[in-house]
Each structure stands twice: as C-alpha cells, then as structure tokens.
Structure 1
Amino acid sequence: MMMNCCGLLTANKEPVPLKSVEVELEVRAHVATVVSTLNYENKEDKPLEAVFVFPLPGDAAVCHFSAKIGQTEIVAEVKEKQKAREEYDDALSSGQQAFLLEESDQSPDIFSLSVGSLRPGESASIRLEYVTELAVQADEGLRFCLPAVLNPRYQPQGSGGSGGSNVQMTSVPASLVPYSLSFSARVSSPRPVSKVESNCPLDALQYLNTEQTQATVKLAAGHKFDRDVELLIYYKDAHQPTAVVEAGQASAKPGTLMGDPVVMLSLYPEFPQAVMSSVTSCGEFVFLLDRSGSMDGARIKSARDTLLLLLKSLPMGCYFNIYSFGSSYEHIFPKSVEYSQKTMEEALKKVEEMQANLGGTEILMPLKHIYSQPCIPSQPRQLFVFTDGEVGNTKEVINLVKKNSGSHRCFSFGIGEGASSALINGLAKEGGGHAQFITGTDRMQPKVMQSLRFALQPAVVDISVKWDLPKGVSVTALSPPITALFQGQRSLVYAQLTGKSLAAEGCVTVKYSLAGHPTQNQLHFSLKPAEDTGITVHRLGARSLIRSLEMEERERGGERDGEVKKKVVELSVQSGVSSAFTAFIAVNKGNGEAIQGPLVRRNVPTPRLWGGCGPPQSIKMMQGPMVFGGMQSNMRMARGACAPVAKQRMMCDSPPMFQCNSISIEHKQPPRDPLLQLVSLQKASGCWVLDPALAAALGKTSEEVEKPKPALVNQEVWATIVALIWLHGFKMDAQEEWELLAMKAVSWLRAQNGNNQNHKCLSVVFNSVCWLKSAVCSHLLCCTHLFYVFFQLHV
C-alpha cells in the first residue's frame, strides 16, 4: 500500500478535504454527550464527494447530524436506510449537496459519512452528536473512550459486505494524518469529582465550583493520532444507587416514548462479604484466544502470561480447555479435561508455544465448536474470550452468544487500540458476563483476574426487577432483563413512565438469589423530573430498546414480514436515534442551482496501526481514520489482499511507533518477570517445591533458602510459606494478579495441619519471622502481611 509522507495529500497525492476535528464531551454522572465538528474545505477546481468510515462506542446513540455551509445550516432527518441512500444518490445526480450518515450492516460501532458535493473553494462543517453510557471499571472509575483507531476488520469468506458500499481504503501512519484534533470535556455530578485520568496528556483539571462537583479538562496540545483517547473519571462515593427522571418532549404526543417521562436507574446491588469472599471449586473454564496476525508482538506475549496466571489460579476439581483461532482454530484438548498437575503442565507447554500465526480473525467457527460440546453436569461453563476485536461479522457473533446464553457466561477482553467495543461489550452483555478493555500501557493480568474472581464467585440467579408506583402511573421497560450481577458493578435500567399521580415517590426492588438465599435491594426515587437534562435519558432508553429489537429481528431472520424491523424504524424515526435499519439524510436544495462539473471522490487517509491483517486469501477489510467520536476516514468494505504479516508489520511496544516505510524490527526478549517466574513454579494443588528453581525466582541461592528450615518442617510446606511471604513482601502492588493462587496455596497449607510434623512446622513459622525478613527479602516485610499469613494458617 502506498504511503505519502509529506503535505496534506492522500496516498494518491490528492488534497485532503478534512482539515480539523473538534470534540466536546459533556459528562453527567454516568452518561456522556459527545459533540463532534468536522471542518472541510475543497481546494480543488472540481466538486468533491468525501466518504469516511469511523468507529463510535458500540452502545452509543447517534441523535443529531447537521451540516453548515456558509450561513446555511441543514439538519438531517432519520429515514429508512434504503430510502435515505436513494435520496442521497438522487440529490447528487441532480447537482444538489447531500449528506448521509449510516451504521454498518455488520457492526453497530462502525459508521460511514458521505459528504457530497463540495463546490470548488467551498467550506463545510459537519456536526455529529451522540450519547453513551460510561462503564464502571475495577477501581470504581467511569471509562469514556473516544475511538481514534479503526483497525482492519477481518471478514470471513462468503459473508456479506457493508450494505453494498465499495470504498477504497487509504492508509497512512498515524503520526502523519493531516487533520488536527481538539478535545475538551466538562464533568458534572451530584458527588464531587475526585480526579480525571487519561492515557493521553491532559491539561490540569479545572474545578468550576467550590463543591468540586463540576470540572473541565482538555487534551494537551500536540496529541498524535496513535491511540484512542481514554478518560477515567472518579467520583467520591460513586457506588451509590441513583435514579434520574427526565421529562418528555412537550412537542411529542403523550403516551409515546418521547412524550412520556423516562427514568434511568443506576443500581449497585450489595452482596454479603462473607459469601462473596468465598470461591467456588467447580466450573468448566474455556479460554478462547485470538492468534490472528494483528495479535503479534506484545499482545500475544501478554496473553501467554495471562493464561499462565489463569491456569495457576483455577481450583482443583474444575474442568478447562484452551482454544485459539485465526483463519482456522485449534484446541489443546479434544474436550474439556479435569484440572490436575498433569493437564495443567500439558496446557502450559502448549501455551508457551503459541504465536500470532493463524492469519485472519474468524471467531465464529470456534464458538460454534465450543457450544456443540455437551455441558458437564455440576460444572457451570465460563467462557473467556481474548481478542483485538478486528472482526467484521460482529452482529452474527453476538447473536450466536445470545442463543447459547442459557448454558454459559461469557467474559470478554478487548486488546489494544481499535478493539471493537460493540463486539467486546456485546459478548459480555449477551453472555451474562463482564467486559474489559486493555489499551495503551495497561496490564492485561489484573483485569483478567478480576473477571476470574467474578466467575468464581457464587452466581446470582433468579434476577427480577419489580416496580412500586403510585396509582395512575404505569411502567414500560425499555431495557432487556438483567442477566448478570457482579460485586461492585453497576446495572443501568431504563423505563417509560405513563400517566400522572399526585404522589411524589416511586420505588424499584431488585430481587435475586445468591448462594441459595433470596435477597433484595430497594431504591426509592422522586417522580419529579430533573431539570436541565435535555432528552439524553430518552435517547439512551430508545437506544436500549432499539438494540433489543434488532437482536430479536436477527433471531427471527426477517420472519413475519419484517414486523420487528418496522418497529425499529418507527422508534428510530420518532426518537431521532440511529439504528441498523435507518440513516441520517440531509439535502441542501439551496437556491436551486445545480452544481456543475463531474463529481470527484476523495478518500481521506486513515491512521494506521498495523501493516497487515493475515494471509492474503479471501480477505475483506473495514478500515477508517481518526475522527470525531472517533472519526475514521473513508473505507466501507473493500476486497483486497494483505501482504504477509511478518513482512509488513512493524513490531513495537504500545504506543506504536511508525516509519514511512514498512519494516520489521525484532526485539530482544526481556528477562522473565520474577513474579511470573515464581508463579510458573507453583503446582496445581497450590504448593511450591523447595528446589533451586524456587531459590532463583526469589533471587537467593539454594543454601540461603534451605539452610534455615527446621529439621521437622516439610519441604513443600516451607517452600509454600516462603513463596507466600515473598509475594506479600515484594508484590503487593500486583496483589490482584496473584491473590487467587495465593488463596489456593493457603488452602493447601491448611490441609496439612492434620499431620503432626506439619503442625509443628506451622508453629515454627512464627519463630522464623526474623529469618524470613532478612533472608527472603532485601528489605523488612510489612508485619501486617506476615501476621496475615500466619493467622490464615491457623484458622
């Protein structure tokens, strides 16, 4: 693929019509409104059509699209997609200006924008607005992501395109994208804003009031298009249930979704700590790892290290298997096997050999094979999916997971920049699990281990939401039923309130069963609509209902004369929110004068992270540029061939670095992390063996570790205690990564109490603390952690 390294030119030395992108983010508690303005200028002597393909958050609701040319503003309408396309083509054919915004047929997080026609010397500003929910992270931060990268989407052979569009992709290194980005955010919440963090340089946080409930922040000047812009927003006492009632539109008919009030509930169920601190000793754990070419380098290495931690943390008595996929798929065992020292060692040997060498990203076939395997009685299936999300048939994959949601839970992990949020969030949502994103310099291990803790906790079942509203007020659910509840995680529920009452308060009760015990959480809320909320909650509620109906339509396959599709189109048009079956269309009829001359198509170059996407056979790619809520440039669906990955891709750590010519750089393998070295020596039962390898992992000689051991002390008991105390002394900053395997080690030690000699050994531990302080660690250990280990052994 050609690349141009100088000037505001495309790879074909054509002027780029897009000059700048301005993004304004407004965060209110748990939801965000994003306004992106794209500024264009045609410096050529011919009229232009510019086409862009770009990513948005997968659960975003596009709710406004307009164009301003000179002093004329044209606001787009939502129409059925095919009608909108025909109207756009007719407008261009008659010499009128037109603008078309539509969602990809394959994935709900990819949009295309067509701007035609720009007269010679003419400028235009495109304004796009969308609303989205903010996901809660493990550390209680709320995550907002402005997608900047749309990586190639591998489309399996024989699958459909993106609605029949054929746009040729133009790609340049991210640092050479010729348009600028400005980004600012305003945050407001009922609770104080404690901090805002980002993977990109930010200017200092500015508070707007003394209560610190309002603040602004900006992206520092000089930001490059080499990563998604991620904000983590932290509130004080964030994990409290809340409810917001939003008034309907005065212009809308009462009884309709937009005419009635809509309530948004943010629920944080409270689980007994005694129950949640325990872990189950059963389950079938299936790990599905992406080994496509785009996973090469640091990604596949991190995935291997993560699988090591996962396998060491599994409980004895469970079952497991590991699948990997690219253009084809592999599995370590023909079917899931019982977890033991033998099967763990066999799996780890295969994991160490895994490379990103399986070509494309065809995830559908391994999923079908997994679901075809019979479930093991009394071993609940837990599926962990690791992928960089470069999948073209997102909707088909999510639909398959939903069809099998009754037999398993799915935990998903998006790796690297440009991972499809629609795929990652969709897998977890429809699979009743939890989604995590690993970007920039994030470590994969702590996020994955948090999800494993969720999977090992007692499952919450029989979940129901019951409304208690005053007489005269009825409720219509806009959200699908809650399928999963996890400790510390938030569930958002939307509902339409119809009717009126003099009563000022309503109540909602979430009931569920946990570890065999019926439990409920209640939230009382005011029915009085909040002020100055606009219609954000209505739009998000409409989006939630639209997504549920779209899923129903895919399940039916268009049966019953497209009845569900008609409902989606009607709801989308009524609410002004985008859907898979509608598009935004705006036509500038102006003064009636037709634009003269042949219309020339111009493709804006896309920021590129990867030089290849797998083997050359049967590949379609969907790729785009950095833009507004992540505007990526032109590229609907194009057939093409990628050169071999090993030749094209430049291997680098995150954030990627680029050069004008594609070259391959090999990095020398760094020495293994001492933590991973120690973990790799742990047995499946949870113990360690006293041998030279353990001493080396601790940074000591065998004599230094073995000599102080009392004669009656069992070697494995001594080795396990030493390993545990080393973890508490050296690696408390990584406790999330080793906590589960340490719990397994403590359980093993407890089981040794029955042996008299081992009981004496445990008693000796306390007397050996002085040695452990000096010999195992190079600094004094925290006494709190020493006593923690000691008393855990005697419970």
Structure 2
Amino acid sequence: MMLTPRSLFMGLFALLILNGPALWAEESMTISKKEAAKELGEPLAKLMKEKGEPLEFDPDLLNIVETVWTDPGEIPRFQVVAEDERYLLPLKHTHVDAKITGTVVRVETTQTYENPFDHPIETVYVFPLPENSAVDDMKMVIGERVIEAEIQKKEEARQTYETAKKEGHTAALLEQERPNIFTQSVANIAAKEQIEVKLRYVQDLSYDGGTYEFVFPMVVGPRYIPGDAVSAKQKGTGWSQETTEVGDASRITPPIVGAGERTGHDISIEVTASNELEISDVVVPTHEIALEKRGDGSIALALAEKDSIPNRDFVMRYKVVGKEPKATISTYRKGENGYFTFIVHPPELDIDQLVGPREFIFVVDISGSMSGKPLAMCKDAMQTALDGMRPVDTFNVITFASSEQLLWNEARPANLTNLLDAKSFIDGLTAGGGTEMKNAIDAALDSSGEGRRSRFVFFMTDGFVGNEEAILEKTKNYVEAFDKLERTARVFGFGVGSSPNRYLLDGLAESGRGSTVYASNREDPTRAVNRFFELVDHVVIENVELKWEGVDVSDVFPVELPPLFASKPLVVHGRFSQSGSGKAILKGRADGKGLELPVVVDFLAEDHGDDVQATLWARAKLHDLERDLWGGYDTRVVEAITDLGLTYRIVTAYTSFVAVDRSRVVGNGDPTTIVQPVDAAEDVDISGLEGSKVGTKVVVSKQQIQISEPSSVRYEDAPREKSKEKKSSKTPAKKSRPPKDSAPSPRSADFSVGEGSGVGGVRGETAQPAAQDSPVTAPDAEVQGALDTTEIKSIIRKSIKKIQQCYESELLNNPMLSGKISLEITINSKGVVTGVKVVSNTLEGDGGEAVAACMMKEVKKLKFPKSNGEMKINYPFVFKSEK
C-alpha cells in the first residue's frame, strides 16, 4: 500500500491510542504545508499556517486530531442494481439559500433529482424542516419550464398527484407529517432527466441570552414507535408499521443508510445576513464554514465541501453589536389587512436574587439511540448539573428506555453523600432498549406527596419518538395539576446529539412552561447546562399579559403567553386594521410583585412593509391550533387549520402543495417507485436501536420496484467514484440485504440470531415478522452463569450486521448456502470473551468454515457486563438462503 502523509499520520495516531504518549519521546514526524492542506484537512492546515512549517506532530496535536476529516468521496455510495447494471439513487443534491433580515430568516431549498434509469421513476423522500417554519411556496423546474405549485386540501392534493402520475404527467407533492417532518414525492421523472424542486419557508429566529440562532435540520433521526402493530395497510413507505399509539408510523420512519456508507445525497448551504442588525461573534459549532464580512456590515457564509453529507443539524449562532432595544415592532399593511410582529425584552431584574429551595428532577434518556456519544454527553452534562445545585436544593435522577428507573423513591438533599451516589449512578449508565417516554413523564411529574418546593424537571434526550402529541398533552396536564395544588412545576428540555427532535423538545418546554437548551454532538454540553441554571436561578416573570391602549389589534398569538425567563424575549404576532398610535403594556408578576412595561407603538395608514409578516402571523396561529390537537382529533380545529393553510398558502397537516407538468406525457403511468433513504444521523448507533427496523442497508421499499423480473432488483454499495473525489484505501463495499418488503434478490438471504432476534419490529408481540415473511427459526441460547439471557441477547444482537456480512460474503460465491452454526462463547468475570469455538456447523455447501471463522472473529470483540464468575453461552445462529 502506498503511504501518504495522511495515512502515516493516521497510523501514528492509532499507535498513540494503543501505546500512550511515550511514543512521542522516541520520534517526531514532520509534514509540509501543501501535504497538510491536501491530505489532512483544514484543521491541521490552519494550525500549520499559524505555526509555520515543518509542522511537528507533538502532543498538542491531540487536541485537534478528532477534527481530521474524511472526504465524502471516500465513503461508499448506495446503488440500485437492476439487470446487473448499477444506478445511483435519485436525490443528488440539496442547496440551501438562507437570507437573514432582522429577526426573520427566509430560506429556499432546491432538491435536485436525477433519473439514472431508461424508464420513468417516482421518488419519495422524507426530510426535516424547522418546527416553527411556514412553508409558503413550491416550484418544480424541468429544463426551462417552471411549474408553480397550488395549495390544496391534503386529500385533494394527493388525488391530483395520483391522477397526474397515472396519466403520465410529471408531478411533485409536498406533505407535512409533523411540524418538522415533510414528505416530497416526485412522479414520472423521465429517463436520464434532472428535475429540481424548490421549496421556500420563513421563520422567526430564536433568541436566548443575547444570542440569535439559525438551525437548518438535515436528517430525520430514527423514531422509536411505541404501541402494538395494527394490521391495516401501511400509509407510507417507512420501515415501521402503524401502531395503536402512532397511527402514521410508516410516514415518519424513512429507510436509513449507515455503518460507514452514505446515500450519495450532498448538501450545500449559503447564509447571508443584511446589515439591518450589525452582526458579530458568528459561531457554527456543527460544521466548518467559510465566512465573509462585507464592508456594508452584512455577512455571508458557506458550508465547506468536506461537510456536505446531510447527517446532522446545521447550527449558526451570532450576536449583534450594541444593546438590544427593549422592544421592536415590525408591520405590514395592504389595504384593510395589517399584520405585525412585536418583540419585547423583559426588564432587567435583580439577577443575583435566587428563587427559594427547589426540587430538581433529572430525567436521562438511555434508550438505544443514545448509545455512544449522546449518552456520554448526558453523563458530562449531569456531572456539571449536579455540581450546580445548592445545599438547600433536593434532587432525584430518573432514567428511561423500555422502562423507567428512579435513583431513589423520593428526592433527597443535595449534600455531598447524595451527590456522590448520584454521580456513581450516572457513571454506570448504559444505553439500550426503547423510548417509553410517557412513563418517565409520569414518574417525573407525579404531584402526590407533601412537598411545597418548586419542581424543575430537566429532560435529557434526543427526542427520537413518534408519539410526540401524547407526550406533550400528558406534560401539559401534569403541570396544570400542580397549578391546582398551588405548586409550581416547570419542564426543561436538554436536546442532545446531531439531530434532536426539536418539535418534541420545544413542545416539552412550552407545555411545561419552561425552556429548552441544546448541545450538538460537536460541542461541550457544559454551555447548555450553564444556560439552564441561568434560567432557573433568576427571577421568572409569571402571569404575563399584554394589554393594548389606543390601537385596535386582534388575533394576537400566542393566546396563552409563556412565563418570561432572564434574557428571553416575548414574541407575539397579531393583526390590525386601523392606523394610529398607542401603547402595548407588558404586565406580570416577579417575586410576588407586579410590574408593568409600557411601549409606544405606531400603525401606519398606507400600504407598507414586508408581506412575510402575514405569513408569520399565520404560522403563529397555526401553532396555537396545532396545540389544540395534542389531546386528539377535533373537527373544528382541523377545519380551522385547513382554512388557514388555504387562505395563507402554507403547508399544514391538512393542506399540501402539488405541481403538475401537463405539457407532456412521460411513460405509461406506472413509474418505478424508489424510496430515497436518509443518511444515519451522526453519532447515532442505528444497529442498537430497539423498536426500529432500521437495518444498516435498508434502501428501497415498496413492491413496485420492478425493472423486468422482481428477482432481478437488488441494492448494493457503489464503488468509489473516480471523478474529483479522492480514492479510498478502505476495504471493498459489502453487498446489502434488501428490505423485507422488496422483491427478493438472487443473492439475498434471511438471517437470525437466537429467539426473536434480528433488527426488527415495533414494540409488542404482534410486530414480530409473520412466519411466511421470515422462514428462519432459532432455539434459545443456553447460558451457564449469572448474566440474564435477555441481556446477553441484546449484546449479541448488536453484532448482527457484522455476522450477516460474514455470511453474505460467502453467499455471493454459493447462493445455496444455508444451515446453522452454534458457537460456545466463554466470558470471564470482567465481561471479556476469552474463548469461542464452533460446537456445530451445518451450513451446506462450500463456505461454511469461512463463515464460522469470520463469526468467531466478530464475537471475540464483544464486551459483556461484569459477573461473579466465568460464563459459557451456547448460541445458535441460523441462516437460510432465499434462493
């Protein structure tokens, strides 16, 4: 193998990890500036620029080694394989153009689809947008033709789309699944043709503690789907069946690609900010960017090419020069219709005055999606949080996954002994299982007992659940129950990881009258924890009201104003019809005392302003209506949402955009449907998720995938591209297993480990694959020792994809390879695998020994919990080819 400076460096780094810092005393290494820029990426190149060359690899480099990047071109891309021809997936690129003006951002996204086949296709793509955005425009661009979308009722838009598809017309449909999850369908993309779908949305920027924040989400993280599966036909193209608790689960669970592979979908982002507010201190903790500060005070930034994989949220934070005004109002008027946004910052109170004795309940998500870095971040955050409490406070810790666990039966004083016990408990946490969050809500907000302290509940989670509304309604009801007892309870969200579910987390804070802080997987969680304590340590303005004098305003949202925390403004949207001057008076109570803050407002008579104010008002009203549906379906509310969407031309849960090109006919009206997978969210271990059928290589679903014969279609990794992207020295891409719903491949196979194993199924026995879907059976494991059989299965199940690869590598040579391999696994008291041997091997045909040898190698890598003594496990692995 040819050694490059990069490979030398990475090899040296690996030796350091294994052998420790003493290595540096023996030998150092140098590299030129040109080599650093080309081979090691921007972080090292930047360091070289600062220090000069040659750059010596001393221990200081360890602080930035983790930022050495992998060129996206080195990661294998998935392909559709039909008739032995390879085709890339349809979605090629998304470009994001964001323009910030004042406290509002307008964003246009352009999704580029390309049909690589010689016949028409349909593609379905599930993707995220900000939870408070208002999608108010869609266009479809085919060559020189631009087709404007129409807003229609959701059912009518779907019918328009399906009719156009059957008639051979190219059509695009945008539907909302959640306020932060959307589905884009494009039908009849002609052979070898490229199509663009342009979406536009607007939103208010968030502001907290002197910092503005713009977030563009890039990927829908894997959702845990609670409840029992129902037998009704799936509504969508996702990996999950509908359940008794999530009736649209198949519409929010897109197929996922991971384990070192990618979809081939790239993203680029450009952000410009006007000089309306002079911006300073721009920080993007999640991505590498190029930033330009212009002479007129505006700024522009762009995403670095090496960060083009859409696998984590883009987060941009910035401050403005000078002190924020105590209030601002932005207005728009056209004819008799006037709209406004009113922002008022709470008055500065005595920030040193602390609230009385408090009860803290820390709730930590330890479900499967939190495995690895997310849980490690929560542990770090918890250590900081525990150190931030006062001796007069009490606290408790609750963890939840498939079930909840309390550290103690009731909150205890924050003394040294209890704090040390809590820290030890936190250090010992491991992730695994489902995300039964409703049970954790019950435990954290139980109002029984005689306590009179103010309760602060701090949820640490990525929010990857599908039953958001039920959780939010339950939280709201509990907090209202505290009010009736004349007690105070507040719920705070701590969003952790690369792509947290902000709809759930912000909803928790809203329903719990608290606030939300976030820590991306690429930043220190200490910042977020410190912000939490800033919020709870300072006086909160309660019973907030907004009165208007001298001006005629109406339909002001939100109707129920939230409590105001330190350095968090109140933002309302409303309507006016008459011109004139008057006052807006903010009223509330802080520390038992009343306060008033009058602000002069003016509404002009002539037409003026930006029509974005009308859209923002509609979105604010929509949010209040959506909240009314947390408790269940309400015909009156649904009709109001539908009318709002149609009138103001915005996408809602009941209104959709549809665009149809009627200028031509493409194909016979029966296009092949390809479900666009999404990249695995960064630092989310999809292999360990419970309640999610998110196999490493699930790419395409739906039975319509037929090129000629059903058995001729399969899905594989693409070879690395030979264009401008770098070549990789990694091992060749492994062949993938088709999803259960797709047509079987000549080389596909079923694989199982132990009873009820496999990466599959939502909660509940009814979700297990039927016998006709999976002819594989497996007996129970035989365990001699103290560990629980269920725990052993859970650990071994995490190695399924590796063992499956052992099998599939030999299946390529012998498609008839089937049988069972039983391994005897010996584990010492420290949880280390000390021996693996083959007890029996009935794989028929050549390759059985090779599969067994590969399996033994993978099993030796497993790590089990500590026990009282040596254990032996006899574990069966059953393989059956579908040939």
TM over 0.5: yes
Q: What is the Cα deviation at residue 428 of structure 1?
A: 1.2
Query: Is 1:223 paired with 2:223?
Result: no
Partner of 1:482: 561
What's the offset of the Cα at 1:603? 2.8
Residue 799 of structure 2 aligns to a residue in which SS?
A: helix
Which residue of 2 is the match for residue 145 of structure 1?
215
| Cα distance in structure 1, aligned partners of 2:262 and 2:395 | 46
Which residue does 1:113 correspond to in 2? 184
The 3-state SS of whatever aligns with 1:299 is helix
Q: For residues 216-258 of structure 1, what are the alpha-carbon distances to aligned partners after superposition, in whole Å with 9 as ceiling and x for unaligned?
A: 22223332314322211221125323433332456xxx4xxxx
* Letter paired with 2:568: Q
In structure 2, C-alpha distance between the alignment counterparts of 1:573 and 1:372, rounded to whole Å: 42
Superposed displacement of residue 622, structure 1: 12
1:54–1:529 distance in 2 versus 1, CA, 3 Å: farther
- The code of the aligned residue for 2:284 comes to S
Matched letter for residue 473 of structure 2: N
Deviation at 1:402, TM superposition (A): 2.2
Q: How far is 1:208 from its partner?
A: 4.9
Specify the alignment match of 2:347 in structure 1.
270
1:324 is displaced (CA, Å) by 0.6
| Correspondence list, 1:536-547, <5 A | 536-547=612-623
- SS of 2:225's equivalent in the other structure is coil
TM-superposed deviation, 1:148: 2.0
Query: Structure 1 residues 469, 191: CA separation in 2 closer, same or farther (over 3 Å shift)?
Result: same
User: What amino acid sits opposite 2:614 in the alignment?
Assistant: H
How far apart, in 2, do the equivalents of 1:84 and 1:224 lie? 33
Candidates 372, 387, 392, aligned match of 1:317: 392
**What SS is found at the alignment partner of 1:45?**
coil
Contact 1:174-1:606 at 8 Å conserved across structures = no
After superposition, give the CA deviation of every residue in 1:699-756 in whole Å (9 maximum; x if it has no partner). Answer: xxxxxxxxxxxxxxxxxxxxxxxxxxxxxxxxxxxxxxxxxxxxxxxxxxxxxxxxxx
Q: 2:670 aligns with which of 598, 623, 629?
A: 598
Corresponding residue of 2:456 = 382
> For structure 1, which segment, 366-375 or 124-133, has the greater mean C-alpha deviation from structure 2 after superposition?
366-375
1:49 match: secondary structure: strand
Q: Is the 8 A contact 1:186 1:217 kept in 2?
A: yes
The yes-or-no answer on 1:569 pairing with 2:642 is: yes
The letter of the residue matching 1:581 is Y
Structure 2: segments with no counterpart, 5+ residues: 1-72, 229-244, 483-488, 700-738, 743-758, 763-793, 803-854, 864-883
- Matches of 1:72 and 1:494, distance apart in 2: 37
SS in structure 1 opposite 2:397? strand
Bigger Cα displacement from structure 2, 531-540 vs 226-235: 531-540
Displacement of 1:597 in angstroms is 6.1
Assess, with a 3 A threshold, how the Cα gap between structure 1 residues 341 and 170 changes in structure 2: closer, same or farther. Answer: closer
Mapping of residues 750-769 of structure 1, within 5 Å: none
CA distance in 1, matches of 2:303, 2:654: 35
Change (3 A) 1:7 1:567: closer
Aligned to 1:280: 355
- Check the 8 A contact 1:388/1:418 in 2, yes or no: yes
Kept in 1, the 8 Å contact 2:353–2:538? The answer is yes
The alpha carbon displacement at 1:664 in A equals 11
Aligned to 1:203, the other structure's residue is in SS state strand
2:604 maps to a residue whose letter is K
Candidates 472, 477, 484, aligned match of 1:403: 477
Q: 1:468 aligns with which of 521, 535, 549?
A: 549
Distance across 2 between alignment mates of 1:619 and 1:365: 19
2:445·2:479 contact (CA, 8 Å) conserved in 1? no
* Equivalent of 1:236 in 310, 314, 321: 321
When residues 301 and 70 of structure 1 are mapped into structure 2, their CA distance, relative to the original with a 3 A threshold, is closer
| Structure 2 CA distance for partners of 1:15 and 1:161, relative to 1, 3 Å | farther
Matched, 1:131 2:131: no
- Is it true that 1:192 corresponds to 2:278 in the alignment? yes
Distance 2:604 2:406 in 1: 56
How do residues 61-76 of structure 1 correspond to structure 2 at under 5 angstroms? 61-76=134-149
SS at match of 1:349: helix
SS of match in other structure, 1:237: coil
Q: Answer yes or no: is 1:203 the counterpart of 2:274.
A: no
Compute the displacement of 1:277 (Å): 0.8
Kept in 1: contact 2:89–2:263 (CA 8 A) = no
Counterpart in the other structure of 2:61 = none
Instruction: Tell me, yes or no, if the aligned pair for 2:226 and 2:691 is still in contact at 8 Å.
Output: yes
**What is the alpha-carbon distance in structure 1 between the residues aligned to residue 366 and residue 515 of structure 2?**
22
Contact map agreement 1:294 1:612 (CA 8 A) in 2: yes
Checking the alignment, whether the CA contact within 8 Å between 2:90 and 2:114 is kept in structure 1 is yes
CA pair 120-364 structure 1, distance change in 2 beyond 3 A = same
Q: In structure 1, what is the Cα distance between the partners aligned to 2:282 and 2:327? A: 21
1:439 to partner: Cα distance: 0.8
- Counterpart in 2 of 1:183? 269
Match 1:459 to one of 527, 532, 540: 540
Q: Is the 8 A contact 2:175 2:183 kept in 1?
A: yes
Give the secondary-structure state (helix, strand or coil) at the position aligned to 1:160. Answer: coil
Matches within 5 A, 1:77-116: 77-104=150-177, 107-116=178-187
Check 1:614–1:285 CA distance in 2 against 1; reply closer, same or farther (3 A cut): farther
Kept in 1: contact 2:208–2:567 (CA 8 A): no
In the TM superposition, what is the alpha-carbon distance from 1:533 to its structure 2 partner?
A: 5.2
Q: SS of the residue aligned with 2:445?
A: helix
Match of 1:392 among 454, 458, 466: 466
In structure 2, relative to structure 1, the CA distance for the partners of 1:220 and 1:378 (3 Å cut) is same
Q: CA RMSD in A?
A: 3.5
RCO comparison, higher one (Cα < 8 Å, 6+)? 1
Q: CA deviation at 1:457?
A: 2.6
- Asked if structure 2 preserves the Cα contact closer than 8 Å seen for 1:80 and 1:581, the reply is yes
Q: Bigger CA drift: 476-485 or 307-316? A: 307-316
Deviation track 1:742-789 (CA, whole Å, cap 9, x = no partner) reads: xxxxxxxxxxxxxxxxxxxxxxxxxxxxxxxxxxxxxxxxxxxxxxxx
Please say if residues 282 and 378 of structure 1, whose CA atoms lie closer than 8 Å, have aligned partners that are also in contact: no
SS at match of 1:603: strand
SS in 2 for 1:95: coil
Match of 2:306, SS state, is coil
1 CA distance for matches of 2:592 and 2:252? Answer: 55
Query: Which residue number corresponds to residue 713 of structure 1?
Result: none
Please state whether the residue corresponding to 1:483 is helix, strand or coil.
Answer: coil
Match for residue 742 of structure 1? none
Secondary structure in 1 matching 2:116: coil
For each residue in 1:63-117, what CA deviation from the matched residue of structure 2 results, as whole angstroms up to 9, or x when unmatched? 111211223222222222223223322222232222111111xx32111110111
Instruction: Give the TM-score normalised by the residue count of structure 2.
Output: 0.65
**How far has the Cα of 1:466 moved from its partner?**
0.8
Show the counterpart of 1:647. Answer: 799
Post-superposition shift, 1:596?
Answer: 2.1
Instruction: Give 1:37's aligned residue.
Output: 110
* CA separation of 1:83 and 1:491: change in aligned 2, threshold 3 A: same
Determine if contact 1:479/1:495 at 8 Å carries over to the other structure. no
* Mapped partners of 1:157, 1:21: distance in 2: 35
Deviation at 1:611? 6.5
Q: CA deviation at 1:17?
A: 1.7
Distance across 2 between alignment mates of 1:76 and 1:580 = 17
Q: What is the CA distance between 1:61 and its match in structure 2?
A: 1.2
In the other structure, the counterpart of 1:426 is 507
Q: In structure 2, do the counterparts of structure 1 residues 72 and 326 end up closer, same or farther at CA, with 3 Å as the change threshold?
A: same
* Alignment partners' CA distance in 2, 1:283 and 1:640: 43
Question: Aligned to 1:419, what secondary structure does the other structure show?
Answer: coil
Quote how far apart the aligned CAs of 1:386 are. Answer: 0.3
Secondary structure at 1:372 match in 2: coil
Q: Which residue number in structure 2 is paired with residue 155 of structure 1?
A: 225
